[in-house]
Amino acid sequence: MIYLDYAAATPLDPRVLKAQEPYLTDQFFNPSASYLAAQNVRANYEAARHNLAQVIGARPAEVIITAGATESINLALNGVSGKILTTDIEHASVLSLAKVRDGVVIPVDAKGRINLSVLESSITDEVELISIGYANSEIGTVQSIKEIASIVVHVRERRKSMGIDRPLLFHTDASQAAGYLDINTARLGVDLMTLNAGKCYGPKQVGLLYVRAGIQLRPLVYGGGQEMGLRSGTENVAGAIGFARALELAEKKRKAETVRLSELRDDLEAFVANEFTDVVINGHKKHRLPNVLNISIPELDGERAVFALDQAGVMVATGSACAANKGTRSHVLMAIGLAPEVADGSLRISLGRLTTQSEIAELKPILAEVIRTQLKFGAAHA
């Protein structure tokens, strides 16, 4: 089997599981208990928070450990009461909250990038939080987070000079960026940042929200007051320890993996472009993740192609996993302006740590054959 759906889920790194093992077995103590064994668990949990903070250039008290990206995003966006501004290619959680909260949704261009002047002019005085994904999970387009952060600073200063009290916060969902892009919060200039362990070879059901010191969010979950009062409930010790190990490893391998995977991806892209002259390569040519190739082939039935590839031993996606499961057309592909019949012929091939050159070599003829057969089959039914 050739797994090429790393943007949907990454396998747990065996070193991560090894780091977690004591906390899944002997070290099961409640970190809030008084005896020494429990206090050691607490210390190791806090050490994990410290390590997570270090990778993202933050202080430990700025790291809130959550049950994953969706919770982190909800904590960030529900933590403020003013208007939310976002884009039309964000994760379902951001778009759902923008809808519930009557938010402002700005469009992206045909490559999935935000127009920074459109963004700036959309920041009305009611906007309190801007949420923009660092890298899109479907098409891999990367936004200029630093530039957006500068705009936010500029608007904040303007508000201050005009005596407008409303704060302005900038949140980015960096779930897909970890392991490929710079996720140092100080360098990026973000106020809030979401990460997901399950997307960077860490345990599932663990994420974090970076909350810059001084920002007061409203909790989603009340109780014992854990996680600086922002996320009550017994701490996820094994999860945090695994996440810290995974993020350290991802950061360590980041530059080499970025080079390695973009070469493999470019090679595959060139092959597809050569085989199918009418293929559309979705996303930005330059500003994109190194591991994502999203293609659309007119007349192809993407869903059927995914099943045929699965039977041939290749696991890829068409649109996002969530959307795929519900049989709805990808909102991201619609947002970048693809015609429905082009969007329906899309495949997302996402590479990862276990992807090799020989796997890509093996994939090429399978992919070409499946697409050709499907196109013929589609034509026969047309």
Q: Are 272 and 372 in contact (CB under 8 A)?
A: no
204 near a second copy, rule: CB under 8 A: yes
CB of 249 to a second copy, least distance (A): 16
Q: Which two tokens stand for residue 358?
A: 């020989």
CB of 125 to a second copy, least distance (A): 26
324 near a second copy, rule: CB under 8 A: yes
Binding a second copy (rule: CB under 8 A), the pick from 34, 124, 161, 277 is 34
Catalytic residue check, 322: yes
281 near a second copy, rule: CB under 8 A: no
Work out the end-to-end distance of the chain between its first and last CA atoms, rounded to an integer number of angstroms: 32
Which range of residues in 127-135, 221-229, 286-294, 337-345 is near a second copy by CB under 8 A? 221-229
103 near a second copy, rule: CB under 8 A: no
Phi, psi of 155 (to 5 degrees): -65, -40
CB closer to a second copy out of 181 and 309: 309
Cα–Cα distance measured from residue 222 to residue 231, given in angstroms and rounded to the nearest whole number: 7
366 near a second copy, rule: CB under 8 A: no
Which residues fall within 8 angstroms of residue 13, CB to CB, at 6 or more apart?
Answer: 201, 202, 245, 246, 249, 353
Q: Are 239 and 203 in contact (CB under 8 A)?
A: yes
Binding a second copy (rule: CB under 8 A), the pick from 125, 275, 299, 303 is 303
334 near a second copy, rule: CB under 8 A: no
157 near a second copy, rule: CB under 8 A: no
321 near a second copy, rule: CB under 8 A: yes
Provide DSSP, 19-49: HHHHHHTT----TTSSSHHHHHHHHHHHHHH
329 near a second copy, rule: CB under 8 A: no
β-pairing verdict for 83-87 and 127-131 = parallel
Q: Tell me which of 61, 92, 164, 322 is the catalytic residue.
A: 322
Q: Applying CB under 8 A, what is the total number of residues that bind a second copy?
A: 66
216 near a second copy, rule: CB under 8 A: no
Element (H, E) at 158: helix 145-161
Please say whether the dihedral angle defined by the alpha carbons of residues 329, 333, 338 and 341, taken in this order, is positive or negative.
negative
Q: CB-based burial of residue 221 (10 Å sphere; 0-12 exposed, 13-18 middle, 19+ buried)? A: middle
- Chain positions 58 to 87 lying near a second copy, rule: CB under 8 A, are 67-71, 73-74
Q: Give the other-Cβ count within 10 Å of 274's Cβ.
A: 10
Please say whether the dihedral angle defined by the alpha carbons of residues 258, 263, 264 and 267, taken in this order, is positive or negative.
positive
Catalytic residues: 322
Q: Which residues bind a second copy (CB under 8 A)?
A: 1, 5, 8-12, 14, 17, 24-26, 28-30, 32-38, 67-71, 73-74, 91-93, 96-97, 100, 198, 203-205, 220-225, 232-234, 236-239, 303, 306-307, 309-310, 315-318, 321-322, 324-326
